Every structure is written in C-alpha cells, then in structure tokens.
Amino acid sequence: MKSPQALIYLSSFSRISIYGLSIICLTSATVSASYGGNETDYLALLSFKSKITHDPYKVLTSWNHSFYLCDWTGISCGRRHKRVNAIVLYSYGLEGSLSPHVGNLSFLRRLYLWNNSFQGTIPPELGRLSRLRHLILYDNKLSGVILKEISFLSKLKILQISDNKLEGGIPPSMGNITSLEVFTASRNPLGGSIPDTLGHLNSLIVFYSCDCNLYGSIPPSIYNLSLLVNISLAHNYLTGSLPSEIGVMLPNLKLLHIPPSIYNLSLFGDGDDEESDEIGCTWKVVMLGYGCGILVGLVMGNLMLSTRKVKWFNAIADATESLVLKKKKRRHVYVGK
C-alpha cells in the first residue's frame, strides 16, 4: 500500500505532466495554425529568412509562428490552395544569400527580389519551380553563372538578372524557355557570344544584354523573332552587320540599340548614343500587358511599385495576363532594365 506522501507526490507529478503536455500541444497548435497545415512552404520560408544576414527595415519580423504564413510581409498565397505563390521583397536592403529551399515552394509564380544585396550564386534548386513565371533578381550582387537549371522553367515569362556579377556567358539552354517574353542581363561580365539557340524564343519581346562583354556576331536566328519590340546590345564587342531587310523581319521593333562596331549601323541611324542608352539600359520594368490599356497599366504598375500591395497586384496581373492571352494581336507595355 502506497503511503500518503507517495500519493501526494504522484498526484503532483501527474498535474505537472498534464500541464507540460498541454503547453506542448498548445505550442504545436499555434505553430500549425501559423502555416495552416502547409509545413513545406513554412519551412522553406524560414530557411529563406535564416540566410538573411541584414534586414535594415525589419521586414521579416512578421515571419514567425505568431502570424499566419500568408500574412507575412511580402508573401502572397493562392485563394484556393493557400500555398505561397509570390515573394515580393524588392528594395528592402536585404543582405545574405538565396536559400536552396526556395525550390520547395512548388506553387511559386513570382519571385521579386530586385534592388537588394543578395550575394553568392543562384541556387540550382530554383529549376524545380515549374509554375514560376517571373524571376526578377536585378540590382543585387549575385555571382557565378546563369544556371542551365533555369531552362527547366517551362512557364517562365520574365527573367531579369541585370546588374549582378554573373559570368560564363549566356547558356545555349536558354533557348529552351520558349515561353520567355522578357530577358534582361545587362551589366554582367558574362563574356562569350550570343547563342544561336535564342532564336527558339518565339515569344520574346524584350532582349537587353548591354555591357556584358559579348563578342561575335548577332546570330541570324535572332531576326526570326518577329515579336521583338526592344533589343539593347550596346557596349559589347559585337561585329558583323545588320540585314538590310531587318524592318520586314522584325516588324514590331521599336528600339534597336547596338554598338558602332556593327559596320553598316550608319545606314540605320546611330544606335549607341546617350539617349538610346538611357532608354535601352537603365529604365526599370513595370509590365502589366495590354489588357487594362496602356495608361491604366502604367498607373497600376506605379502604384504597385510605390505601395507594395502584393495581393491585389497579383490578382490584377493574373487577370491582365488572361486578357492578353485572349487577344488575337498581343501588345505589351514594357519599361525594362
């Protein structure tokens, strides 16, 4: 028979155990509620945060279990599946590297990280983001090469990697992204030549790769991209000549910005002056398509850039994109970097 002291001890121990178990369960429930049962996205974003070494505006302070994941600063989720579909963290002065676990955000459609100080290489795991449409990383300090894994992004429409420290040339595999509409890589020490495979990008509208140490001639296949509106290849070491029938081959061309080393350039006007450099290399992109009209599109784009209203911008962009695809004759407004 147990003594009264033993019974009191066991009773106290039981209360403590139950209390401790309740705390554990409550904490677990709180954490679970913060990611709404979506542990994969939750852990991927926490890994992203762990790679940030400096957050001067404290924008990632909401990234914890006290807040629902879809309410974290810069995060947008889909209405139906509640999975992360956009990360919008541009111009926040963030420093650090890109976590490879971003590749686990399988529903991600837009990754906007421009004008920060991300260093290191672009993780090859980004190639797993099969739904990604916009990858905008310009104005950072990224190094390494343009990975072949980027060519696995079969739905990618916009790739902007200007103003980094990328080397190794433009990979021929870039020609596999046939959905690509905007490709800007200006002011990277890429080197190499323009691959002929870029002629497979039949949807390409904007191609900016000025000041990239490119050499050789412009591949003839580029002139088959009839949707091209803007081409900027100035401040490179390109040679050769332009085809005399370029106006017929590229009927939508509005801006042609190439170096004076193209020997028959004078027949088409000066393509390397200061004004065209301002247009071709340093304007920043706001793309909302033609669906809302040019004026409305530009106003909406300006509002998005100034207010960072991620969720409503994504809804507008999706609706606009749908309208654009329904039009027989597609037109776009781009101001690109």
pLDDT, tens digit, 9 for 90 and up, residues 65-124: 888 999 999 999 998 888 999 999 999 999 999 999 999 999 999 999 999 999 999 999
Q: So what's the pLDDT on residue 262?
A: 87
Mean pLDDT of 310-328: 46
* Average pLDDT in the chain: 79
Angstrom distance (rounded) from CA 39 to CA 170 = 36
The tokens describing 311, both together, are 């969720």
Kindly report which listed range (62-71, 246-255, 308-317) carries the lowest average pLDDT score.
Answer: 308-317
Handedness of CA 255, 182, 161, 246 (dihedral sign): negative
Spans of all domains in the chain:
1-35, 39-279, 286-337
Name the residue among 280, 273, 169 with its Cα closest to residue 233: 280
pLDDT higher than threshold 50 for residue 274: no
Q: So what's the pLDDT on residue 272?
A: 52
Mean pLDDT of 132-141: 98
Residues 6+ apart with CB under 8 A from 97: 51, 118, 119, 120
From the options 3.80.10.10, 3.40.50.620, 3.40.50.150, 1.10.3720.10, give the CATH code of 39-279: 3.80.10.10
Backbone angles phi, psi at 131, to 5 degrees: -100, 0
Which residue is it, tokens 């677990």?
A: 28
Q: Where does the pLDDT of residue 266 fall: very low under 50, low under 70, confident under 90, or very high at 90 and above?
A: low
Q: So what's the pLDDT on residue 254?
A: 92
Q: Where does the pLDDT of residue 269 fall: very low under 50, low under 70, confident under 90, or very high at 90 and above?
A: low
Query: Dihedral (C-alpha) 146, 147, 149, 150: value to the nearest 10 degrees?
Result: -10
Asked whether 156 and 133 are in contact (CB, 8 A), the reply is yes
Handedness of CA 292, 293, 295, 298 (dihedral sign): positive
Q: So what's the pLDDT on residue 37?
A: 56
Q: List, for residues 225-241, the tens digit of each pLDDT value.
A: 999 999 999 999 999 99
Pairing of strands 52-54, 237-239: unpaired
Q: List, for residues 165-185, the tens digit of each pLDDT value.
A: 999 999 999 999 999 999 999
Reduced to 3 states (helix: H, G, I; strand: E, B; else coil), residue 85 is: strand
Residues composing the chain: 337
Asked whether 151 and 174 are in contact (CB, 8 A), the reply is yes
